[in-house]
Amino acid sequence: MSRGGYVMHLGRVPYAEAWDLQRSLAGAVSQGAIPDTVLFLEHPPVVTLGRRTDESAELHIPEANNVEVVETDRGGKSTFHGPGQLVCYPILDLKRHGRDVKQYVRNLEEALIETVAPFDLTGERIDGLTGVWLTSPPRKLASIGVHVSRWVTTHGYALNVDLDPAPFTDWITACGLEDATFTTVAREVGRDVTVDEVRPHAVAALEAVFGLELEELPADDGAGLWAQPVHHELAAK
């Protein structure tokens, strides 16, 4: 049986604003004020550090690149975000999804694999590493880093749709992986691909993997918090 949830397409959002928003929405999900909620967005260029980042080994940003660097509370090591990358922050109450953080990460990988399948790309897992890869040779297509508090998730995944992957190797040793190669959906399919083209597949994949029926918050002028079926259900509680 599918559960209702929200999906929001937020456009390009600075990292700090998105992180603050996630933490606050996690509180709202935890309180039962809103159902599971999934944020899709892009970030302006930013390097983020996870809890396992070794800054001295992983960061080698050229001085000319005045890119923002943010320490976060997610798992994993350093990564790069920039326009042309589909960033997904599912804020899910894992009490409704099995209370298993490892399985949650595996499910995110599965959702990513399903997201890129319509582009004739076969995403794969690599033992001992998180994220989704193409082989052979191994090329990283998407990164995953999550945080769970009171069983509510924040952070999520970043899928490289169409961006220059050079910062992953030139600015940082992304994910702490020496000699790793990073790729994008556009590079693999040999044509321009937009984040907007990929996002519906990402929504469908999350719905299938997590048993959710995600209701999009419309972006039309005047649309907002009202006249949403899920809101009516909440109001009736």
Partner 1 sequence: MSDALEAAAAACDEVAHELEQALAHVRVAAEHYRQGAAPRGAAHAWAAHGHLLEATERLGTQAREHARRSVPQTD
In eight-state DSSP terms, residue 59 is: B
Helix 101-116 with 195-210: angle, nearest 10 deg: 140
Report the distance separating Cα 138 and Cα 119, nearest Å: 18
Report the distance separating Cα 202 and Cα 101, nearest Å: 20
Q: Distance of CA 10 to CAs 13, 27, 133, 194, Å?
A: 7, 19, 26, 15
Under 8 Å between Cβ of 69 and 47: yes
Residue 31 or 66 having the CB closest to partner 1: 31
Residue 118 or 224 having the CB closest to partner 1: 224
| Cβ 162 to partner 1 shortest distance, Å | 22
Residue 14 or 75 having the CB closest to partner 1: 14
Residue 120 or 220 having the CB closest to partner 1: 220
Which residues here bind partner 1, judged by CB under 8 A?
8-11, 13, 17, 20-21, 24-31, 33-34, 37, 39, 217-225
- Active-site annotation holder among 18, 91, 172, 175: 175
Query: Rg for the chain (alpha carbons), in Å?
Result: 17
Structure tokens at 211: 């048993």
| Cβ 6 to partner 1 shortest distance, Å | 8
| Cβ 203 to partner 1 shortest distance, Å | 13
| Cβ 25 to partner 1 shortest distance, Å | 5
- Catalytic status, residue 88: no
Which one, of 146, 138, 166, lies nearest residue 105 by Cα?
146
Catalytic residues: 175
